[in-house]
Structure 1
Amino acid sequence: MKRMIPLTLIVASAALLGCQPQANAMPNESVAPATISVNGSAAVEAVPDRVQVRLNVERTGKDIPALKEEVDAITAELLSYLASEGIAKEDIQSYAVRINPKYRYDDGEQILLGYQVSRRVVVDFDEADQHSAFLEFALDNGVQRVEEPQYSISNADGLYEQALAQAVANARSKADKLAAAAGVTITGVRQVNENSHQAPVARYRMMAANEMGSADVSLPGQQSVNAQVHVVFEISAKD
């Protein structure tokens, strides 16, 4: 004989099963706070106080030993002048002599014209106004090619840090205005990214030897040390 199970018992069991918590239920995930993202920038002005001068002592001809002797003599004059002006040896780079043949071509035939003997000299001046007198001395003593001087700021790192702080303040000012317009309140900083790097260098065009005039024309001007940041601020609704 088959055993009969009352219908009421089956319904009651189903009801109890429905009341059991689900084993795979996911816990409530925290919701990330709302944010405002802004860019900030700032610039600190300064006058460059350092300058690097690069020049080449060159002579061209066919007698290599004689050409080298002349290049060496001019270089020695330059080094002697720099020493008399108190320029430290570690601020002077005098490179080895280079010898390059010079050719011309006639109907595809290579004809040797002579040689160019040269030496490169690089000088770093701690005071920018020192370099003008040195350039005049160099041009008066046989130097024929001077490259573009490169100005820099000695305390550039400190100025850049100032600019960074001001850039963050600029970003906060922008965020405050956006938050006020949106009717929310800034509650914290989620992220700060530096979008710039410190490289404040100024340059001016160096005239050729026959264009060189008074030393007073070599003015570096005022230069900017710039910084940019990207800041993400957390916000919440106003109470």
Structure 2
Amino acid sequence: MKRSIALTLVSVVLLAGCTAPLQTGSSDGGTVGPTISVSATGTASADPDLAVVHVGVESTADSANTARGQVARTVGRVRTALSDAGVPDADVTTTSFGIAPVYDYGRGERELVGYRAVHAFAVEVGPDRAGEIVDLAVGAGATSVDGVRFTLSDDRRAELRATALDRAMDAARADADGIADAAALSVTGVRRALTGAEFVPVPIARVESAADGGETVVRPAPVTVTATVDVTYSAR
């Protein structure tokens, strides 16, 4: 008389605090052993190596063409000042341009009073030159400074992301090993691994106010790149 022996496969799962279904088979009909699924996060920080200064020029005139011409002349002076300071033309890019009518509604009806032209652009420089670029642009006629953003160049961002991913995978394996020990199992390999979207918060810059006629000083905070992984390990 033959006896049936029932095998129970135990799957230990930890994925963002949720329990995943027990894996007992594969798509081709074969069997799989226990699995352990974990989520982990890794971070890497560095000082920013790129500053983006957003400046703009605005002018209002009786006609659209006059407003456009006034803005064009001022933008030309700003670009010349930046070029003289060693900023390549390729690092000064237009972010927006527009001309629109200006109306006065003070008398209960719409009255055309002129036209406003706006030309905004971004200047990419090293972080230590951000304050200098603000002063140069304003001194040459820029009418607005719409912010200074500190960030990472593409190469530096890629380096930090690789480091953050390595740390996330190390943390995932450590968690998986801990779970396996608690369940009297051992991790044997990676069955599946996914990474989430990269998160890079904008660092908060500190602006130091100088006395009249002094220089603008902008000091950035470090930039942190965060990477997440979801990993499923084989166990036995």
Q: Answer whether TM exceeds 0.5 for this pair.
A: yes
* Contact 1:148 1:205 (C-alpha < 8 Å) held by counterparts: no
What's the TM-score, normalizing by structure 1? 0.75
Q: Distance in 2 between matches of 1:204 and 1:231?
A: 36
Task: State the Cα distance separating 1:196 from its structure 2 match.
Answer: 2.7
Matched residue SS, 2:220? coil
Deviation at 1:38, TM superposition (A): 0.8
Tell me which residue corresponds to 1:55.
55
Output the CA distance in 2 between the equivalents of 1:156 and 1:87.
Answer: 22
1:151–1:117 distance in 2 versus 1, CA, 3 Å: same
Offset from partner CA, 1:153-197 (integer Å, 9 cap, x none): 121011101111111011001111111111111111111111232
Q: How does 1:150-229 map to 2 (within 5 A)?
A: 150-154=149-153, 155-197=156-198, 199=200, 201-202=202-203, 204=205, 214-216=215-217, 218-229=218-229
Deviation larger for 87-96 or 169-178: 87-96
* Structure 1 equivalent of residue 19 of structure 2: none
Greater mean deviation of Cα atoms: 198-207 or 139-148 = 198-207
* Cα distance in structure 2, aligned partners of 1:95 and 1:44: 30
Change in Cα spacing, 1:30 to 1:95, as seen in structure 2 (3 Å) is: closer
State the distance in 2 between where 1:185 and 1:97 align: 62
Aligned equivalent of 1:105: 105
1:156–1:200 contact (8 Å) kept in structure 2? no
Tell me which structure has the larger Cα radius of gyration: 1
- 2:132 maps to 133
Q: Give unmatched runs, 5+ long, in structure 1.
A: 1-28
Partner of 1:91: 91
Using the alignment, how far apart are the partners of 1:193 and 1:222 within structure 2? 27
Q: Larger % of helix: which? A: 1
The equivalent residue for 2:147 is 148
Corresponding residue of 1:18: none
Q: What residue is the counterpart of 1:31 in the other structure?
A: 31
Which structure 2 residue ranges, 5 or more long, are not aligned? 1-28
Percent of aligned pairs with the same residue? 27
Q: 1:142 offset after TM fit, Å?
A: 2.6
Post-superposition Cα deviations, 1:9-40, rounded to whole Å, max 9, x if no partner, equal: xxxxxxxxxxxxxxxxxxxx643100111111
- Paired position in structure 2 for 1:233: 233
Q: What is the CA distance between 1:64 and its match in structure 2?
A: 4.6
In structure 2, what residue type is equivalent to 1:158? E
Partner SS, residue 203 of structure 2: strand
Counterpart CA distance in 2 for 1:110 and 1:213 is 44
